[in-house]
């Protein structure tokens, strides 16, 4: 039996090395997206390509060892790729650049340190390499299959020149790549010290134990709470940048069989055909191993307490518990090259919600309501010195209400990521941020309210162009178990409402860009929310007086709750029966007037 103390030491070392790699990247990178917004993450994998750390998701090592046999690798080698269709499902769009460094012990590869993140520009049709109306991956930027970027510590200058030549931000790209390569090499040295201290056999036995613990913990504590049976649900992306807005379905048929080796079967049959525009995600590679690790954090909501949920890591141990069935080639999840993919977040973020929704059906609502926590907004142009600039940030939104608590405000799905600080933005780019606040009334009404999104106002000081890659501008984050949907994403420029997908809308100097990001869905009937909690939300500016009255049926006289009037109003507002799912008014707009989908019925 492996020494449990040594397992703790190895597990702590892995977490420490991963954090040290990420800290080094944050301190030495140059682009705002990496350095300030922290849209990147590191991962540690063993020689069997299994992800050992669980604080964040990461790309895969499979494409590297597929093209470069392990026995040919040498200390100081660094591998690079960003090709979506040659990444085995680990890379979603071309701006996600991935570096991989092998770890050596006594001349043999024993592990891998990897980092991948969203970079400012890798070429393509528009600044930022995310053309919202792309019809082909060739419009989206430079595709690089797995290559050796450093050979025994010597950078491949020719490859670096090609990549930086294709970027509108060559200095930032070069600086970021240098930061990521150097950080991963440092992480590899740290890991090799672990092997030197305890020996390869002992450390690898600890790796096995760490992964096995995750497998057994998820099976025993989480999956056991899902009743056996088959459950179906779907949700939708609303537009693809090419066709008119419509419902692009992502469907999950979940089969639960506790006696099976893989207790959960996730069948994506019924997912819509691949889109003409860039919302596709190439997920059907390596048996869906990336999607298994991407979706598994949703299962943590089944933990007994929020504190226990926070303790559960998602490493390779979740993979054997899930079997995935993909539809034939040519769907949103099985696109055929060269289908564009730069807005694939519309699909993979929606899949998190679809799994939560189907589990809500299975567990009587013991899952959070919906959230939408990634959208890219920004401006680009030339500054006072005539130099080109690009400001793009990932703005989060509110998370869904839960069976025990309200949703969280302005959540970012990438761990440790954040909005760009106002002081930094105003010092670097020609605009002023006149407001950065919580968006009042954006959270879905419920017994437990959805979290709030951002309310951000940007006044341009020079003419520029506005860009956006955002979903949920029509469809809302759904509410569950009687909770109501949150408010959708909305942007106004000079009084004109923008669509969610925009490449180059002109903004004149002096005009204001008003951005409101999504609120999470509500959980439980809003007429069961404690009136004192509603009054507190009004005092905090999270709910307006009109929202308290119309959404919650709470009558306020100043700070005082009129309890009798509230009881009477709630009696008139409460519907005869609560809907289990509430998709909001935008669904009717795209569904031909329907308020619910057939799969919404319990």
Residue by residue, DSSP assigns 415-465 as: TT--PPPHHHHHHHSSEEEEEEEE-TT-SPPSSBPPPP-EEEEEEESS-EE
- 552, exposed or middle or buried, with CB in 10 Å at 0-12, 13-18, 19+? buried
Place of tokens 């994998």: 45
The confidence band for 55, taking pLDDT boundaries of 50, 70 and 90, is confident
The three-class DSSP label of residue 599 is: helix
Helix (H) or strand (E) holding 97: strand 96-105
Question: Measured between alpha carbons, how far is 102 from 284 in angstroms, rounded to an integer?
Answer: 26
In contact, 33 and 120? CB cutoff 8 Å: yes
- pLDDT at 427 (0 to 100): 95
* Percentage of the chain modeled with pLDDT above 70: 100
In contact, 355 and 363? CB cutoff 8 Å: no
- 521, exposed or middle or buried, with CB in 10 Å at 0-12, 13-18, 19+? buried
pLDDT of 95 strictly over 90? yes
Average pLDDT of the segment spanning 325-341: 98
The tokens for 198 are 């305890």
pLDDT digits (tens, 9 = 90+) for 266-307: 999 999 999 999 999 999 999 999 999 999 999 999 999 999
Three-class HEC string of 38-74? CCEEEEEEECCCCECCCCCCCCCCHHHHHHCCHHHCC
pLDDT of 56 strictly over 80? no
Question: Measured between alpha carbons, how far is 86 from 440 in angstroms, rounded to an integer?
Answer: 44
pLDDT digits (tens, 9 = 90+) for 358-377: 999 999 999 999 998 889 99
Close Cβ partners of 25 (under 8 Å, ≥ 6 residues apart): 34, 40, 42, 115, 117, 179, 180, 183
CB-hemisphere CA count at 13 Å for 114? 32
The tokens for 166 are 């294709």
Of 377, 25, 379, 66, the closest CA to residue 180 belongs to: 25
In contact, 566 and 554? CB cutoff 8 Å: yes
Question: Measured between alpha carbons, how far is 377 from 100 in angstroms, rounded to an integer?
Answer: 29
- pLDDT at 54 (0 to 100): 85
Cis peptide preceding 41, ω within 30 of 0: no
CB-hemisphere CA count at 13 Å for 357? 31
pLDDT digits (tens, 9 = 90+) for 102-152: 999 999 999 999 999 999 999 999 999 999 999 999 999 999 999 999 999
pLDDT digits (tens, 9 = 90+) for 155-207: 999 999 999 999 999 999 999 999 999 999 999 999 999 999 999 999 999 99
Number of CB atoms found within 10 A of residue 388's CB: 11
The confidence band for 419, taking pLDDT boundaries of 50, 70 and 90, is confident
Of 411, 421, 378, 394, the closest CA to residue 513 belongs to: 378
Of 284, 342, 357, the closest CA to residue 468 belongs to: 342
The tokens for 181 are 């390569």
Close Cβ partners of 502 (under 8 Å, ≥ 6 residues apart): 132, 466, 467, 468
Average pLDDT of the segment spanning 324-346: 97
Computed from CA positions of residues 590, 595, 601, 602, in that sequence, does the dihedral angle turn out positive or negative?
A: positive
Close Cβ partners of 163 (under 8 Å, ≥ 6 residues apart): 122, 142, 144, 173, 177
pLDDT of 308 strictly over 80? yes
- The domains of the chain are located at 4-216, 372-525
Return the minimum-mean-pLDDT range out of 25-39, 278-292, 453-467: 25-39
Question: Measured between alpha carbons, how far is 57 from 43 in angstroms, rounded to an integer?
Answer: 7
- Global pTM reads 0.95
Question: Measured between alpha carbons, how far is 195 from 44 in angstroms, rounded to an integer?
Answer: 14
Number of CB atoms found within 10 A of residue 289's CB: 23
CB-hemisphere CA count at 13 Å for 321? 27
Three-class HEC string of 300-324? HHHCCCHHHHHHCCCCHHHHHHEEE
- pLDDT at 417 (0 to 100): 79
- pLDDT at 418 (0 to 100): 82
In contact, 368 and 298? CB cutoff 8 Å: no
Question: Measured between alpha carbons, how far is 452 from 516 in angstroms, rounded to an integer?
Answer: 10
Q: What is the DSSP letter of 273?
A: B
Question: Measured between alpha carbons, how far is 122 from 129 in angstroms, rounded to an integer?
Answer: 6
The three-class DSSP label of residue 227 is: coil
């Amino acid at each position: 039996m492996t020494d449990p103390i040594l397992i703790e030491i190895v597990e702590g070392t892995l977490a420490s090395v991963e954090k040290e790699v990420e800290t080094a990247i944050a301190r030495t990178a140059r682009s705002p997206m990496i350095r300030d917004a922290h849209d990147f993450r590191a991962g540690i994998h063993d020689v069997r390509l299994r992800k050992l750390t669980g604080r964040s998701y990461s790309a895969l090592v499979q494409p590297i060892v597929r093209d470069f046999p392990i026995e040919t690798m040498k200390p100081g080698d660094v591998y690079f790729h960003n090709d979506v269709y040659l990444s085995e499902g680990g890379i979603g769009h071309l701006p996600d650049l991935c570096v991989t460094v092998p770890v050596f012990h006594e001349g043999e590869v024993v592990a891998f340190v990897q980092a991948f993140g969203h970079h400012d520009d890798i070429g393509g049709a528009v600044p930022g390499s995310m053309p919202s109306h792309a019809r082909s991956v060739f419009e989206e930027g430079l595709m690089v299959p797995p290559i050796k970027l450093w050979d025994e510590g010597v950078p491949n200058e020719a490859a670096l020149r090609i990549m930086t030549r294709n970027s509108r931000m060559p200095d930032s790209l070069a600086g970021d790549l240098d930061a990521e390569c150097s950080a991963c090499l440092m992480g590899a040295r740290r890991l090799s010290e672990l092997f030197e201290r305890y020996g390869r056999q002992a450390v690898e036995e600890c790796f096995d134990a760490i992964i096995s613990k995750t497998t057994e913990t998820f099976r025993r504590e989480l999956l056991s709470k899902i009743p056996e049976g088959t459950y179906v649900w779907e949700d939708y992306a609303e537009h693809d940048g090419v066709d008119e807005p419509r419902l692009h379905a992502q469907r999950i048929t979940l089969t639960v069989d506790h006696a099976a080796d893989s207790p959960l079967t996730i069948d994506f049959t019924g997912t819509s055909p691949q889109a003409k525009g860039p919302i596709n995600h190439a997920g059907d590679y390596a048996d869906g191993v990336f999607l298994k690790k991407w979706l598994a954090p949703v299962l943590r909501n089944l933990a007994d307490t929020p504190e226990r949920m926070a303790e559960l890591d998602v490493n390779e141990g979740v993979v054997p518990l899930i079997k995935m069935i993909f539809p034939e080639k040519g769907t949103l999840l099985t696109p055929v090259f060269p289908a564009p993919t730069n807005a694939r977040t519309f699909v993979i973020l929606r899949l998190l919600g679809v799994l939560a929704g189907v589990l809500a059906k299975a567990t009587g609502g013991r899952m959070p309501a919906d959230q939408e926590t990634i959208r890219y907004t920004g401006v680009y142009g030339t500054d006072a010195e005539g130099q080109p600039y690009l400001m793009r940030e990932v703005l989060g939104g509110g998370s869904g209400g839960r069976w025990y608590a309200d949703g969280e405000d302005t959540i970012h799905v990438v761990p440790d990521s954040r909005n760009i600080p106002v002081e930094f933005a105003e010092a670097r780019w020609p605009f002023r941020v006149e407001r950065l606040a919580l968006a009042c009334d954006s959270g879905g009404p419920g017994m437990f309210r959805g979290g709030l999104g951002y309310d951000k106002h940007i006044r341009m000081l020079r003419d520029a162009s506005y860009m956006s890659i955002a979903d949920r501008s029509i469809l809302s984050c759904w509410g569950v178990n009687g909770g109501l949907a949150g408010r959708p994403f909305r942007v106004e420029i000079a009084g004109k409402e923008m669509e969610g997908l925009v490449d180059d809308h002109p903004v004149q100097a002096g005009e204001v860009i008003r951005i409101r990001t999504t609120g999470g869905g509500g959980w439980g009937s809003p007429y069961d929310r404690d009136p004192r909690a509603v009054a507190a939300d009004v005092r905090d500016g999270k709910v307006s007086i009109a929202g308290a009255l119309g959404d919650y049926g709470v009558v306020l006289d100043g700070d005082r709750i009129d309890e009798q009037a509230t009881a009477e109003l709630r009696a008139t507002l409460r519907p005869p029966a609560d809907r289990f799912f509430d998709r909001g008014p935008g669904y009717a707009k795209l569904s031909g007037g329907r308020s619910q989908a057939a799969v919404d019925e319990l």
